[in-house]
Every structure is written in structure tokens, then in C-alpha cells.
Amino acid sequence: MSRRTAIVTGAARGIGAAVAKRLAADGFAVAVLDLDEAACEPVVEDVRSGGADALAVGADVADEAAVEAAVTRVAQELGAPTVLVNNAGITRDNLLFKMTIGDWDAVTDVHLRGAFLMSRAVQRHMTEQRRGRIVNLSSTSALGNRGQTNYAAAKAGLQGFTKTLAIELGAFGITANAVAPGFVETDMTASAAERIGMPFEEFKASAASQIPLGRTGKPEDIAHAVSFFASEGAGFVSGQVLYVAGGPCD
């Protein structure tokens, strides 16, 4: 097999950083992609200290030209990517009657447009090699969540997007799957706690009380699931949504 290269978007911190480090441990050269290239450097340094190769890439996933340039750079400097993890995401939470067009567009642009542009750019390399893995980060919010019409719609859309990719790209040896986290301890959930004026520890305890396993998730929990979908052993698993939420999801 030729060198294995993975791209992880939104990888400067949180779930994306954990995924990048896990894939590096799995033997991939990893492109750590985020809006701010400098913010990616600590993750790149961690990966390199573990003996794997990594590259910091700054790009707005909702910008077509930036995406094309980023994927071209990765292919030239690390090798043609055969794994793509569409993790980049933002929140702009509000109740429907308070939500602005800007809030709606910002969230759907990063999650949906970004996943579309990245997948379209990377699939060319995958189809040439006739193998590949695309893993999209959805959320339990896809099932509906108060104050998140934009985020819930985007995450539900990613599930339909994933299933369609699986149908279209399967003939080329490419799988597409989604991981849908529940409550995970990240800067995003910390910001949610701050927004409602609740200490993060109290916020986590409240969430954990509703989870059958009695705890909240860690970024590493999600990274393990992504690692499975990216593995050679998952070659007959495609078009699936895996909820990683500490219990069943409706």
C-alpha cells in the first residue's frame, strides 16, 4: 500500500485534534486543517513528537478556492489523501424567532457547504486510487434540539449527505459514514454553559445525569469511533450513522 494520508477539518482543538492524533497513532500522515493555520501547530507538534508526519493547513472550508488550494497542498506535501474527516463546525444557537439569517447561514455554510466542498475535492484522489474513507461528524442534535434549528438542520443534512456519498462512491472502493456525538467536553460545550450562566462542572453534571453511562463524553471517545470507520477493517461498512452518546438515541 502507498503512504496513507488523512485530512481532518476543524482539527486545531477538541474533537478534531483528538481525531488527528488518533489517526496519526493509527499510522496516517495527518493534515491538521482549521481556519487559523497557526492554531494547528500545537497539534502538529504533538503528532510529530509521536513519530508521525503532520502538516498544518489554514483554510475556510466554506470557501471553494481555499478548499481546492488546501487539498492540492496536502496531496503535494503529504501524499494523496485517502481519508477525510469532516469535523469543522460552529454553533450560533438561538430560538427560532430570534435567529438571524446570518446565524443560519454561518452554521449551514461551515457544516454542509464545508463538508460538500471538502468531499468533492478529496474524492478525486480517492477515486484515482480506488479506495477511501469519508467520515462526517453529525450530532445527536440531528434528532432535534431546542435553540438549534440551524445546527440540528445542518447535522441532519450531513446524515443524508453521508448516505448519498456511500451510494455514489461505493463503486470506487470509498466508504462514507457518520459519527454523531452526544454531549462531549469541548470548548463548544463550555461556551454553551457560559452562555446560559452555568459553571461548566455543573453543566457537565446535569448532562451526565441524563446519560445512561452516567458520564459525559471525551473527544477521545469520538476519535475511537472515527478510527474504526477509517480503518481497513471497516471496508464493508458504509452509509451508517453511529451515535456515540453514552446510551441509545431515538
Could you give the residue numbers annotated as active site?
Answer: 151
List residues bridging with 83 in a β-sheet. 6, 133
The region, left, alpha or beta by phi > 0 then psi within -120 to 50, assigned to residue 59 is beta
> 43 and 19 in contact (C-beta within 8 Å)?
no
Three-state DSSP state, 163: helix
Give the gyration radius of the chain's Cα atoms.
17
Q: How far apart are CA 92 and CA 94, in angstroms?
A: 7
Q: How far apart are CA 103 and CA 18, in angstroms?
A: 27
Instruction: Report residue 69 as a C-alpha cell.
Output: 488550494
Q: How far apart are CA 39 and CA 170, in angstroms?
A: 35
The region, left, alpha or beta by phi > 0 then psi within -120 to 50, assigned to residue 129 is alpha
Q: How far apart are CA 162 and CA 164, in angstroms?
A: 5
Q: What does DSSP assign to residue 170?
A: G
